Amino acid sequence: MTLATLGSAVPDFEIAATGEKTVKLSDYRGKKVVLYFYPKDSTPGCTQEGQGFRDNIEQFNQLNAVILGVSRDSVKMHEGFKCKQEFPFDLLSDQDESLCNLFDVIKMKNMYGKQVRGIERSTFLIDEDGVLVKEWRKVQVKTHIAEVLDYLQSAAE
């Protein structure tokens, strides 16, 4: 299995997305891609994280960055979550975990005292040429959006 690694081109993935679309990474050449992985639609932390990206979308747009959210939920679940939260970006459905595996975000986690396989909240920045330039793992929701924006702004200077 190939893993996306810092400083290397990310393989051109193709995946089902909201809006009855199929998204390919190559569709975004010339733009920065902020690819954020989250555990589950409509849960408190995932909702707060998505709202943070939503509420700062103009700043991301000004920095030539596209936001894409990824979880293992179905496109149908994503559509409801996106609509309810008024997300101005697409959510990608990775039910077969191919994208999760590419970025190595499936980890064993403790949930109510049990070990379960789940997505470790992580964000990846892919540059205009499709190269992975930054990753944030074990993301803390409260400070994360500011960290990503700070990085993008400093890289733009």
Q: pLDDT (tens digit, 9 = 90+) per residue, 90-136?
A: 999 999 999 999 999 998 887 778 888 889 999 999 999 999 999 99
Annotated catalytic residue 83: no
Q: Residue 156's pLDDT band (boundaries 50, 70, 90)?
A: confident
Distance CA 51, CA 145 (A): 10
The predicted pLDDT at position 63 comes to 97
| DSSP symbol at 64 | T
Residues in the chain: 157
Mean per-residue pLDDT over the chain, rounded: 94
The predicted pLDDT at position 117 comes to 85
The residue annotated as part of the active site, out of 15, 46, 99, 125, is: 46
Whole-model pTM? 0.94
Stretch 32-59: mean pLDDT: 96
Distance CA 92, CA 72 (A): 8
Distance CA 105, CA 99 (A): 9
The predicted pLDDT at position 1 comes to 54
